Structure 1
Amino acid sequence: MRRSRGRKVVIGILWGLVALLVLGVVGILVWSQVGVMAAEPEPLAAVRENPDIVVEDAPEGIVLSPADGAGDVGLVFIPGAKVDPWAYAAILQGIVAEDDVTVVITRPWLNLAFFDPRGLDAFTSAAPEVDAWAVGGHSLGGVRACQLAPDAEALVLFASYCSSDISASDVPVLSLAGSKDGLSTPEKIADARHLLPADADLVEIAGASHASFGDYGPQPGDGNPTIQDEQMHAEATDLLGRFADSLAP
């Protein structure tokens, strides 16, 4: 009788653990799909209408290619947590149209970069003709990009910082921050500076907030930007373009 009761207790505990696991998985699935910040329609429409860019919704991600053919440099870009990948098309279109950089914006699993275990080649396969690939990302996407940086020729951070130490690597780094960022604050980025190579280029854009690095509207907890979207896009294009030029074979 005691053994029978013991087995029933063990079975009950196991079923309880299974139920908790199922509830946890379902909870994560639901949470990852609720509150996703959508791309603003007007900036996205401008990208689609840009005659200098070819937009492809490919299996590897959203591919933005120069209309006159791919150049030597590409950028795999990882979105921030629960941000629509299309929200980054407008701020990245400048380097495609003006600097012939091919951009692949990924679609992270469950809208969260940490749940996406795919390597860099899962995205660079969208444009095999490109010779040199940088990896970058916004916010949590940038943290994931740091993990993929050893497989890339360069690293680009938008309002982000590394949690892994790449200071001993020779990977060129461009880190763009915002003076009005209420999430990846300038202080947080400064505190993580030691995890980057000594020659990393850190640029703080005056008046930019966390959401200034995409086109998806205000974000809870963020600061209030004082820079206009057009100026933000222009500054990002200039900085990214010069960085991309330095990577060309």
Structure 2
Amino acid sequence: MTSSSRPARRRGRRALTVLVAVVVVLALLAVGFLVWAHVVMPGDRTAALKVWRDDRVSVQDAGDSVILRPTGPSNGVGVVFLPGAKVDPYAYLATFDGVAASGTTVVITKPTLNLAFFDTRSLATFEEHAPDVTTWAVGGHSLGGVRACQLATTPGTAGLLLLGSYCANDLSSSSLDVLSLSGSRDGLSTPAKVGAARHLLPDSASSVVIRGADHAQFGHYGEQPGDNPATVSHAHTDRVITAQVSRWAASLG
């Protein structure tokens, strides 16, 4: 072996060692991300069970989503709703219990990796679960709302519902019927952030601030890091959501 070949071999071994190290680090990062994504903020069991026992609504787990339907008269309106990042879809059963009881079908999706931005499925995928619905809207909480804004451009979508969220894409020239509910104590989708993005919604959009509500009160999953403590009860926030969303949904039909 010549003296010139030995340094070349050493460089080759070092390069291979670096490559293996990079692959290992990337693999560990990927595994760590998957573990992180699959650890969700669980829904409140008591609140969810109360909805299951409510004879005004029916609850169906369709595999890719959870569907709330009125057992009484339907208004023909449905909402495909995207959960916040890493929030259990069942955490929104109690949020929409009264809305479904009033006649609106709500399809709560189970996002890919529990993050709406990784879910590339179309609205039609979820709308197929309720063929009796004649008018569809899309909505979401937090990061789910940001993704809902993107899906709202789907032809045939009549409305957009934002709970503690705001758009990143411009919908100001659209004909969407928009309802945005935010909390004055929200520490994540803060009033300042919601206000700064208001120009991305149509002028006709309805914006309602629930005084004293925080970010986590748009679902039932306990406290959330970075949030501010609410100064009103969860029951109060639920009543406001039910009244506002039920009225908005009925106007779409």
Q: TM-score, normalised by structure 2?
A: 0.91
Query: Cα distance, 1:13 vs. partner?
Result: 4.5
C-alpha deviation, 1:60, in angstroms? 3.2
Q: Which residue of the partner structure matches residue 41 of structure 1?
A: 45
Q: Which amino acid in structure 2 is aligned with residue 197 of structure 1?
A: P
Q: Deviations over 1:46-88 (max 9, x none)?
A: 1011001111011230001111364410011111111111010
Match of 1:140 among 135, 138, 143: 143
Contact 2:183 2:209 in 1 (8 A): yes
Map Cα deviations across residues 101-145 of structure 1 (whole Å, 9 max, x no partner).
111101111111112111111111111221111110110110111
Judged with a 3 Å threshold, the aligned counterparts in structure 2 of structure 1 residues 10 and 232 are, in CA distance, closer, same or farther, namely: same
Shift of 1:15: 3.4
Judge which range, 202-211 or 20-29, deviates more: 20-29
Q: Which residue of 2 aligns with 1:112?
A: 115
| Whole-angstrom distance in 1 between the partners of 2:177 and 2:12 | 59
**1:204 Cα shift?**
0.3
Matching of residues 29-108 of structure 1 within 5 Å: 29-34=34-39, 36-68=40-72, 70-98=74-102, 100-108=103-111
Shift of 1:14: 4.0
Relative to structure 1, the CA distance from residue 12 to residue 96 in structure 2 (aligned partners, 3 Å threshold; closer, same or farther) is same
Instruction: Indicate which of 241, 244, 249 corresponds to 2:246.
Output: 241
Contact 1:62 1:106 in 2 (8 A): yes
| 3-state secondary structure, aligned to 1:245 | helix
The reply on whether 1:21 has 2:26 as its aligned counterpart is yes
Residue 209 of structure 2 is aligned to residue 204 of structure 1: yes
Cα distance in 2 between the residues matched to 1:68 and 1:10: 69
Q: Distance in 1 between matches of 2:201 and 2:247?
A: 20
Aligned partner of 2:82: which letter?
Answer: I
Which of the numbers 161, 165, 185 marks the counterpart of 2:166? 161
Structure 1 unaligned segments of length 5 or more: list them: none
TM-score, normalised on structure 1?
0.92
Q: Following the alignment from structure 1 to structure 2, what is the Cα–Cα distance between the partners of residues 110 and 24? A: 15
SS in 2 for 1:128: coil
Q: Given that residues 60 and 104 in structure 1 are in contact (C-alpha distance below 8 angstroms), is that contact kept between their aligned partners in structure 2?
A: no
Q: 1:70/1:8 Cα in 2 relative to 1: closer, same or farther (>3 Å)? A: farther
Matched letter for residue 224 of structure 1: P
Asked whether the equivalents of residues 75 and 250 of structure 2 are also in contact (C-alpha less than 8 Å), the reply is no
What secondary structure does 2:153 align onto? helix
Distance 1:198 1:25 in 2: 43
1:213 is the counterpart of 2:218: yes
Q: Deviations over 1:129-167 (max 9, x none)?
A: 211111101101101111101112111000001112222
The whole-number CA distance in structure 2 between the counterparts of 1:20 and 1:69 is 56
Percent of residue pairs identical? 48
Q: Give, in angstroms, the shift of residue 5 of structure 1.
A: 5.5
DSSP 3-state at the match of 1:150: coil
The runs of 5 or more residues in structure 2 that have no matched partner are none
RMSD: 1.7
Given that 2:82 and 2:139 are in contact with CA atoms closer than 8 Å, whether structure 1 keeps it comes out as yes
Moved more, 145-154 or 63-72: 63-72
State whether residues 116 and 147 of structure 2, in contact with CA within 8 Å, keep that contact through their aligned partners in structure 1. yes
Deviation at 1:216, TM superposition (A): 0.9
Matches within 5 A, 1:175-190: 175-190=180-195
